[in-house]
Structure 1
C-alpha cells in the first residue's frame, strides 16, 4: 500500500535514492560532503515522496528560509520583467532574496522549476503568467503547490485560474473588450487579431473580450481572423506577414500583447504600410517602451510592477481560510498607432 505523505520518513527517501540515511540527511540539509549530483537526486526524490515538505516546514519554523521563488514564462518579455521588478521591490523591503526561473510556457518545465524551488526550500513561490484553458494540464503543478502550502510554504499567482491559491487577476476580458470598442469606434470593420496560443487562459480571456465587443457592434466574431503565433515580437512579425498576405483588406490589427504589437509595427514598417493612416495597431499590457515607440502604441494598461508587488505581499501574509483574489483593472491608453478607418 502506498505510504501517505505524512508517513514518509528519511529512511524512505534514502532507500528510494539508493543512498545511506546519513547521505540523505546531508543532501537535504545542504551539509557539505555530498556531490551536487547526488544531493540534487536526493532532493528531487524527497519532493516526489513528499518528505521535503516536512523538512521545509521545520525550516520555516526556524526562520532560516528567506528566499522567494519567482516562476515566469519568459524573463526577456517586458511584461514579466516588470512583474519581477515589483516582486524584487517588496522582497528587498522584507530583507529577502529572489530566485527567478522561466518556463517558456511549457507546463512540464514549469512543474520541474516548481519542484526545484521546493527542493531548495524557498519560503514562498510566486507563479506569474497565463495558465492553460484545460485545467488538467496544470494539475501536477497544482498538487505540488498544495503540498508546499500544506507544509507551511506560501504561494501566490498572477493571472492563473486553476491553481487554487491566492491570486492577482488582471481584468483581461474587460481589457479586450475596451480596446476593440476603441477600434470599432474609429470605424474599423475589417479587423484581424494577433494572438498567442488559444490554449492559454490569458489569450482566451482577452479574445473573449474582443468577441464581446464585436457582437455588441453587430459583427460576427467568426468572420474576424485570429492569427495564432508565438506570444513574442517575432510572433507579431510573423502574424503581420500573414495578415498582409491572407487578409490584405484589413485596416486594424488587435494584438493581444504588446510584444506582438511591437513586432507587428516593425513588420509593417518594413512592408511600407503606414500606421495609422493605412493600418491601425493596438496592443495589451502597456509595457514601459509602448509610449516611446513611433507611433506610440495604443494599448491596454496593466500595472505590472504593482501586480508583482501585490502577489508577493499576498504570499507573505498569513494564509486565509480561502484563496484570496485581487482583481486588477485594465485601462485603455490611446496613442498614435490608431486612427480613423482609411477613407
Structure 2
C-alpha cells in the first residue's frame, strides 16, 4: 500500500500535545512574555520532540517582512565590541539591513533570552560577538535554539571560539598572547602577573594558553605566575591591579588579557603613584582605538575588529555550507610606551 505524504507537525499539534492553547504555544516558542518559565520550557521541549519548526517565512508573510540582523555583544561599553559593531553596521548599511544590538554581560542565561527575543522579532540573521564558554553544556540550550532557527531559514555566525556548530570568524588569540608574553620576557621581566577574565570564557582560556606557552619556553614555572581573575572589564582591571599590588608587590609587569582590563590597570597604578613603565610595565590585547592615545600609550595585540564584524555578517549572508565555515584572523603585536625594561 502506498504511504501517504509525510506532514510536519503544526503549531496546533504542539499546543495539544503540551496541553496549552495555540496562543500560549506561540508565545512560548517565540520567547514572548506572558508565559511562565516551566510552561514555556514544556512547550519548547514538546516542539523539539515532535520535530516542529517555526516557519519564519510564513511569519514574514503574515506580519510583514523585516530585513534585520541581530548582533549579540558581551559588553556594549567595551570598545572591542563597539568596533566589531561598526563593521557589522557597515555591511548592514550597504545591504539595506537594520541591525539590532543586544548586550549579554557574558551571562549564558541572558544570552539565551536575547537569542529568543531576536528570533521572536523575526531577524534574518544572528551574529554573536565575543567569547563562547569553555564548558559546552553552558551553551547547549543556545545551540538548540540556533539549530532550529537555521532549519527555518535563519543565518548565524559567531566571532570567537564557540561550541555552537555555526560559521565562525576566529582571531588567533593563542598566538597573539604568546607574542605579547614573549615581548615582556625579552625585555627581561620575570615577575609577571596576568589580569584575566573568567577562565570559563574560551577567549580567556585561549589567551592564557598562549601566555603559558611563552613562559614554559622560557623555563618559567607557570604555577608561580599569579593569574588574577576579575570581570573582563575596566573595573575588573582596577580590581586585578589592586590585588596584584597588595599580594604580589614584587611584580614588574602586568599582562592584561584585554585592553579594557589594561586601561583599568593603568588607572589603578596611576592612583597609587606607580609609574608606567618605570616601575611596572602594562600590556593589553585587542588594540582598541583609544589604546594609542593613552598616557603612556598601550603596548597590545592588534586584532582587526571592524573587519571581524564585516566578515561575520558576510559569512551569515552567504548561502549555508555543508559544514560550518571558518575565517582565521591574525594577531599583531604593537609595541608602545607602556612596556619597558624592569627596574634595576
- Global fold match (TM > 0.5): yes
Q: Is the 8 A contact 1:176 1:209 kept in 2?
A: yes
Aligned to 1:56: 56
**1:317 positional shift:** 0.3
Tell me the alpha carbon deviations over residues 144-181 of structure 1, each in whole angstroms, 9 at most, x when there is no partner: 11111112110000002311100000000001100001
- 1:229 matched to 2:230? The reply is yes
SS of 1:136's partner is helix
- CA shift in 2, pair 1:158/1:113, >3 Å: same
Tell me the alpha carbon deviations over residues 225-274 of structure 1, each in whole angstroms, 9 at most, x when there is no partner: 10111101111001111111110000010000001000000000000000
Aligned to 1:154: 155
Alignment of 1:111-190 (within 5 A): 111-190=112-191
Distance 1:301 1:17 in 2: 54
Number of residue pairs matched by the alignment? 330
More off after superposition, 58-67 vs 296-305: 58-67
- CA shift in 2, pair 1:244/1:38, >3 Å: closer
Unaligned residue ranges in structure 1 (runs of 5+): 1-5, 31-35
Distance 1:113 1:47 in 2: 16
- CA shift in 2, pair 1:117/1:40, >3 Å: farther
- 1:324 matched to 2:303? The reply is no
Aligned to 1:255: 256
Q: Is the 8 A contact 1:128 1:159 kept in 2?
A: yes
Distance 1:230 1:26 in 2: 37
SS of 2:241's partner is helix
- 1:302 matched to 2:316? The reply is no
Tell me the alpha carbon deviations over residues 175-197 of structure 1, each in whole angstroms, 9 at most, x when there is no partner: 11000010011000000000000
Distance 2:44 2:67 in 1: 19
SS of 1:289's partner is helix
- 1:78 matched to 2:79? The reply is yes
SS of 1:89's partner is helix
Aligned to 2:284: 283
Aligned to 2:3: none
Q: Is the 8 A contact 2:171 2:329 kept in 1?
A: yes
Distance 1:282 1:274 in 2: 14
**1:60 positional shift:** 6.8
Q: Is the 8 A contact 2:132 2:161 kept in 1?
A: yes
SS of 2:83's partner is helix
Alignment of 1:191-230 (within 5 A): 191-230=192-231
- CA shift in 2, pair 1:142/1:263, >3 Å: same
**1:47 positional shift:** 6.0
TM-score where L is the length of structure 1: 0.89
- CA shift in 2, pair 1:273/1:170, >3 Å: same
